Structure 1
Amino acid sequence: MVRFLKMQPLSFAGISGDILLPVRWVKEMEKAFNFLGCNEQQKLTCVGYRLQYEAEAWWETTKPILQAAHPVLTWEIFKQAFFGNYFPTSVRKKKEIELAELTQGPKYVLQYQQKFEELFSFAPPHLSDDEAKVQKFEDGLRPQITSIMATGSTQGYSETMQTAKKIEDK
């Protein structure tokens, strides 16, 4: 816990004007957990400590219900309940639609990449592998870049992105 608190992770107090705050909070928690090598029990202890006010009250009432249904409570079970309460399906669907409609347009490849990666965390499960991610990224690039890339060999997402940037720079 001492090492976790030294990292100064965000607290989460409940619903705010920032609809993406729950997603960012979970990502920050996961980053800390990965860095510290936390086990499931440690993750839930740390999370309980970083919830405040309304969110803490939600967890205090939700935790016994989840424990009754799942004798071994995990971070994934917590996340499912957390997102069910703080990240409505309607918002997730809106982000999925934004991703589906995202194109490079007049933006630089770097700007398109940043928006793509922000929205890709909301991608539906069928886009979860690298090949599907590459295809979705390429589909949104300007036709001039896509046509040049079509002559190359199939690459992973990172290589595809770098190739698109190089083509744009020429």
Structure 2
Amino acid sequence: MQRAGHEPTWEEFTQAFRAHYIPDSLMEQKKREFRELKQGNKTVMQYVQSFIHLSQYAPEDVADDPRRAARLLNGLDPTLQTHLGRRYQSFTDLVDTALDMENRLWVANEDQRRKR
């Protein structure tokens, strides 16, 4: 309950909203989905979109930029993980670099297919 005249912060609002409208069981299910999320057959962009969507259910896992970047990197395709290493400065930089690397690998694979 808010005291009179208190302007709630965004964090207070989202916590109250979730507590009222989103069952704990759904929060736990989505948190588990986020923690188990892997790129799999998705493109980097599709994976990032899923990552961003599901990360709202596990805010403690992505509380700062280094944690967010590390979690994203851990879910990327192992080939991309190997190529990326630590070639990024931030979450946004990691996404940009992963997209670029995915494109480069795709072009290289296409070139090899044509040569066969």
TM-score (norm 2): 0.77
Note if 1:108 corresponds to 2:43.
yes
For structure 1, the 5+ residue unaligned runs are 1-65
- How far apart, in 1, do the equivalents of 2:56 and 2:31 lie? 9
Number of the residue aligned with 1:17: none
Number of the residue aligned with 1:93: 28
Contact 1:149 1:164 in 2 (8 A): yes
Provide Cα deviations, 1:16-68, integer angstroms capped at 9, x if missing partner: xxxxxxxxxxxxxxxxxxxxxxxxxxxxxxxxxxxxxxxxxxxxxxxxxx24x
Number of the residue aligned with 2:64: 129
Provide Cα deviations, 1:77-106, integer angstroms capped at 9, x if missing partner: 444333212112221111111110000001
Distance 1:79 1:163, change over 3 A: closer
- How far apart, in 1, do the equivalents of 2:69 and 2:14 lie? 27
Note if 1:169 corresponds to 2:77.
no
Contact 1:96 1:124 in 2 (8 A): no
Larger Rg: 1
What amino acid is aligned across from residue 149 of structure 1 in structure 2?
L
Number of the residue aligned with 1:74: 7
Provide Cα deviations, 1:4-24, integer angstroms capped at 9, x if missing partner: xxxxxxxxxxxxxxxxxxxxx
What amino acid is aligned across from residue 119 of structure 1 in structure 2?
L
Provide Cα deviations, 1:97-130, integer angstroms capped at 9, x if missing partner: 1110000001110110111111111224242100
Alignment RMSD (CA, Å): 1.8
Number of the residue aligned with 1:155: 89
SS in 2 for 1:75: coil
Contact 2:80 2:101 in 1 (8 A): yes
CA deviation after TM superposition for structure 1 residue 145, in Å: 0.3
TM-score (norm 1): 0.54
For structure 2, the 5+ residue unaligned runs are 105-116
Aligned residue-pair number: 102
Contact 2:48 2:95 in 1 (8 A): yes
